[in-house]
Structure 1
Amino acid sequence: MSDRYLDFANSGVGGWLTGALGLPRPAPLRRRAEAGAGPVGPLLLGPDGGGRMAAVLSHLAGAAGQKTHAAWSPDVRYGGLVFDASGCSDAASAQALYRFFHQAIRSVAGHGRIVVIGTPPELMADAEGEAIQRGLEGFVRALAKEARRSIAVHMLYVAPGAEEAAESTLSFLLSPRSAYVSGQPVRVTAPVAVGDAGAGHKDRRVLVTGASRGIGEAITRLFVAEGAQVVALDVAGAAEGLSALKAELGVETLALDITAPDAAGTLLADALTRGGYDVVIHNAGITRDRTIARMEPREWDSVMAVNLTAPLTITQTLVEGGGLRPNGRIVAVSSLSGIAGNMGQSNYALSKAAWIGAVRRLAPQLVEQGLTINAVAPGFIETQMTAAIPFAIREAGRRMNSMGQGGHPADVAETIAWLADPASGGVNGQVVRVCGQSLLGA
């Protein structure tokens, strides 16, 4: 769907007028399709050339054909800044953050990336160290709101010993693939089995529910483009969309209501026939919006069944039945509504917030089987559903984030592809917001 204000603000006349009136002028995001997969320019590493992540950063930059700099120069436009704050343990040591970014922030190119690396706060030796490491999240969120020009800022906590396991995450955060992800923490801990960084999803078996349109279609297309063998699942009423995907992409299709009593068993049988799934993506979801005083029992029950109960049952059945292969990935689609709440969506908000609790409880259990589970929480994404929102509400949803625009289904798909990567075994039990750093919620 076209964003007329974004287009106007970046036209010749529109750019002049918005500047004269002091109106926001968001920069259109550059995604992988337009910008490729690597950073948009050289990386400035500080302090100490990237600290304990120096070797990983050097490898990433070399693979992308990018230069790394250990000293700031006013004559260079940097595609990314990476600051290792993992050793910051008191207020005095945190002054290095100020000195580095005070000097370098204006040198970041448009659409660039900034990553601050820390140590998980609970692993610090004392209260002041934990306080400073937790404080880095506030610093990053503030920096993300100051950066503008579609520059994304990330907080990456890396546990000691998990540096190599962070490579796939750094690659994602420093690339155009993370265009609509900004201002939030990501943790990398001791990994389950980790595949080769850069191997991607070639020949992996991937199940995508709700695959016929919108975000599900974008997920399907991305995984197919990366060489995966995709099973695209949706209800029988979406048969036309499934048939179109099969004809165009060659995916396997499965018409199935996931709330049916035998749905989990059907999927387990399908998985075993294929030798197990490598990735399961719980994208299917519905809304039945109404204030709770007016909501009918069927509207409550159907949202809970599709968005939560059925995917949890399918997950349990696949795990217990051996339907997931070693180093498998489960990714659920939550929502910003589940984090911030939304009027008229008490049923939807509960079902989506519930995934935050589900992934955190299931993550340590699945590690024992060499599996990970995470969730993404999209904000305002340009889909058929958001196109039907009244104009004023739609415009507010688009503008109330640091990027000043809505995201695309591809932004959610890219984030899921990173979480599902065989090299992302150190990311587990997390909920990653794909919202352009929305001003709503935590």
Structure 2
Amino acid sequence: MADSYLNLVNTPLPARIAKALGLPRPSVLRRYTPSEALAVNPVVVAGSGPGADALADVLLGWDVEVRRHVLPGEKLSAAVVVLDAAASPADLAAPMLELGQAVRLLVPGGRVIGVLRSPADTTDPAEAAARQGVDGAIRSVAHELRGGATANGIILRGSTTTTDPTALGALRFFLSGKSAYVDGQFIEVSSAPVESISELAASTAATGEGVADQPLAGRTAVVTGAARGIGAKIAEVLARDGARVVVVDVPAAGEQLAQVANRVGGTALQVDITTADAATRILDHVRQRYGTLDIVVHNAGITRDKLLANMDASRWDSVMAVNIASQLRMNEHFLASPVFSGTGRIISLASTSGIAGNRGQSNYAASKAGVIGMVRAQAAAFDGGGRTINAVAPGFIETDMTEKIPPLTRQVARRLSSLQQGGLPVDVAETIAFLASDSAAGINGQVLRVCGQNLVGA
């Protein structure tokens, strides 16, 4: 699964040859380490108005050096452009052009983050044009960055401010190494009910103090399809963040599942999620051992690829049964059970195939698009409460599945993203852990792509 080309062009002589020949030169991404500083170099906060001023003050409280304007020649860890007060397209010019100067000064692995209000929350044409314009501009910047840098955006819904705990949680995620393979994406955030944000999370958001190494401590998580690959890595990252993890997979994967459970200090449950009693067995297991179920990660999924003209019922039905029908049935049981927490989190694995489609994957794409539809519909029922449901849509991730792709096709797929490489299972796991945390309490019904700004099917 290793990307040997990436490793090769990050050594001196091959790097010079690749540059001379105009070949892709992907950078080693800045991924999260427990001891990492959020920003080693200064962070510039571009934009005028109360929202930008307030956000700059919070960043100072996070022990980050803040600049309100670009200083010539000074290297920057990140640039945050705050456009929450933009009322017309003319308001974008000055802050975006200053952002352009900041981009020149970003260190490798730097971050660009736009903060704006939702176009859906205004009926004024000029205001809506300005807000939608930020979307296009930031996505374009993401395509322009080099050195493993990324650009993403935070969309403030309703009366949410730039210093709302949920907005600051998204900002911290984007600034950190946890978002290494999230690029050209936008997260909509709303103010969350007070009861769904712990005192620690609120303090962390406001002052940067008390940042927990284990933000999921005391929570119980269930991860399906956890015997290997992305599922196993999700279990590891949730456990690292303090969760008690129940790993679930089919009996045939029992030995691997037990190994994962031992590795994360959790418990294993062998169950076929397509059976009618799967949710009941999961709930009984959690109730007997831990009492409450706080986090559900629907990771289990299969592919049975075939051109639609050659598709048979067994291929279609098996994919739909595992990838979406099981989730619908289990969620119905979870939500009706007192075991599922009133501030519970459900995170489902979708795919970029469910957004853009993929040749030979009509069944898989239908199931993953179905996940997105399910999440958005359920989010409406959760709106205003303590529970959330979101989806993560991986793109090309280096797994056993993608290792089976023909070598030339695999190399092309890796280089098509803005980051010019495939993601790793940990990139998906970090995003899920963020969505499972208090910091994401105001994020509901979102589909966050982990694809390096690409739409190659997973």
The residue that corresponds to 2:103 in the other structure is 105
The residue that corresponds to 2:204 in the other structure is none
The residue that corresponds to 1:292 in the other structure is 308
Amino acid at match of 2:218: D
Amino acid at match of 1:299: R
1:322 equivalent to 2:344? Answer no
Q: 1:438 to 1:34 in 2, by over 3 A?
A: farther
Amino acid at match of 1:19: K
The residue that corresponds to 2:178 in the other structure is 177
CA distance in 2, matches of 1:106, 1:414: 28
1:23 equivalent to 2:23? Answer yes
- The correspondence of residues 41-440 of structure 1 with structure 2, limited to 5 A, is 41-48=41-48, 51-52=50-51, 54-56=53-55, 58-63=57-62, 65-159=63-157, 160-162=159-161, 163-192=164-193, 193-195=196-198, 196-197=200-201, 198-199=211-212, 200-273=215-288, 274-367=290-383, 369-438=385-454
Q: Shift in Å at residue 37 of structure 1?
A: 5.6
Amino acid at match of 2:217: K
SS at match of 1:377: strand
Q: 1:54 to 1:178 in 2, by over 3 A?
A: farther
- Shifted more, 181-190 versus 427-436: the winner is 181-190
Q: Shift in Å at residue 34 of structure 1?
A: 8.7
Amino acid at match of 2:345: R
- Shifted more, 231-240 versus 163-172: the winner is 163-172
SS at match of 1:44: strand
What does the per-residue CA deviation read over 1:385-437, in whole Å, with 9 as the maximum and x for residues that have no partner? 11111112111211110000000000000000111112211111000000000
Please tell me whether the aligned partners of residues 194 and 327 of structure 1 are also in contact (alpha carbons under 8 angstroms): no
CA distance in 2, matches of 1:297, 1:228: 39
The residue that corresponds to 1:11 in the other structure is 11
Q: Shift in Å at residue 284 of structure 1?
A: 0.4
Q: Shift in Å at residue 343 of structure 1?
A: 1.1
Q: 1:369 to 1:119 in 2, by over 3 A?
A: closer
Please tell me whether the aligned partners of residues 60 and 167 of structure 1 are also in contact (alpha carbons under 8 angstroms): no
SS at match of 1:300: helix
Please tell me whether the aligned partners of residues 358 and 456 of structure 2 are also in contact (alpha carbons under 8 angstroms): no
Please tell me whether the aligned partners of residues 353 and 455 of structure 2 are also in contact (alpha carbons under 8 angstroms): no
Q: 1:439 to 1:280 in 2, by over 3 A?
A: closer
Q: 1:296 to 1:254 in 2, by over 3 A?
A: same
Q: Shift in Å at residue 264 of structure 1?
A: 1.8
Q: Shift in Å at residue 68 of structure 1?
A: 1.0
Cα RMSD over matched residues? 1.8
Please tell me whether the aligned partners of residues 268 and 318 of structure 1 are also in contact (alpha carbons under 8 angstroms): yes
- Shifted more, 432-441 versus 213-222: the winner is 432-441
Q: Shift in Å at residue 323 of structure 1?
A: 3.0
What does the per-residue CA deviation read over 1:153-191, in whole Å, with 9 as the maximum and x for residues that have no partner? 011111333423212111101111100001021110122
What does the per-residue CA deviation read over 1:318-356, in whole Å, with 9 as the maximum and x for residues that have no partner? 001223212211000000111111111111000001111
CA distance in 1, matches of 2:425, 2:223: 14
Please tell me whether the aligned partners of residues 300 and 323 of structure 2 are also in contact (alpha carbons under 8 angstroms): yes
Q: Shift in Å at residue 212 of structure 1?
A: 1.0
Q: 1:348 to 1:105 in 2, by over 3 A?
A: same
- Shifted more, 239-248 versus 194-203: the winner is 194-203
SS at match of 1:83: strand
Please tell me whether the aligned partners of residues 295 and 345 of structure 2 are also in contact (alpha carbons under 8 angstroms): yes
Q: TM-score, normalized by length of structure 1?
A: 0.95
What does the per-residue CA deviation read over 1:106-153, in whole Å, with 9 as the maximum and x for residues that have no partner? 011110101110001122350111121012111111100111111110
Amino acid at match of 1:288: R
CA distance in 2, matches of 1:107, 1:279: 40
Q: 1:427 to 1:178 in 2, by over 3 A?
A: same
SS at match of 1:397: helix
The residue that corresponds to 2:207 in the other structure is none
Q: 1:434 to 1:35 in 2, by over 3 A?
A: farther
Amino acid at match of 1:386: T
Q: Shift in Å at residue 33 of structure 1?
A: 3.2
Q: 1:372 to 1:122 in 2, by over 3 A?
A: same
Gapped runs of 5+ residues in structure 2? 202-210
CA distance in 2, matches of 1:92, 1:43: 25
Please tell me whether the aligned partners of residues 44 and 80 of structure 1 are also in contact (alpha carbons under 8 angstroms): yes
CA distance in 2, matches of 1:369, 1:12: 54
Identity of aligned residues (%): 40
Q: 1:325 to 1:388 in 2, by over 3 A?
A: same
Q: TM-score, normalized by length of structure 2?
A: 0.92
Q: Shift in Å at residue 271 of structure 1?
A: 3.5
Q: Shift in Å at residue 306 of structure 1?
A: 0.5
CA distance in 2, matches of 1:217, 1:57: 38
SS at match of 1:287: coil
Q: Shift in Å at residue 35 of structure 1?
A: 7.6
SS at match of 1:94: helix
The residue that corresponds to 2:205 in the other structure is none
Please tell me whether the aligned partners of residues 166 and 440 of structure 2 are also in contact (alpha carbons under 8 angstroms): yes
SS at match of 1:26: coil
Please tell me whether the aligned partners of residues 356 and 455 of structure 2 are also in contact (alpha carbons under 8 angstroms): no
Q: Shift in Å at residue 101 of structure 1?
A: 1.9
CA distance in 2, matches of 1:440, 1:222: 25
Amino acid at match of 1:13: L
- Shifted more, 261-270 versus 18-27: the winner is 261-270
Q: Shift in Å at residue 268 of structure 1?
A: 2.6
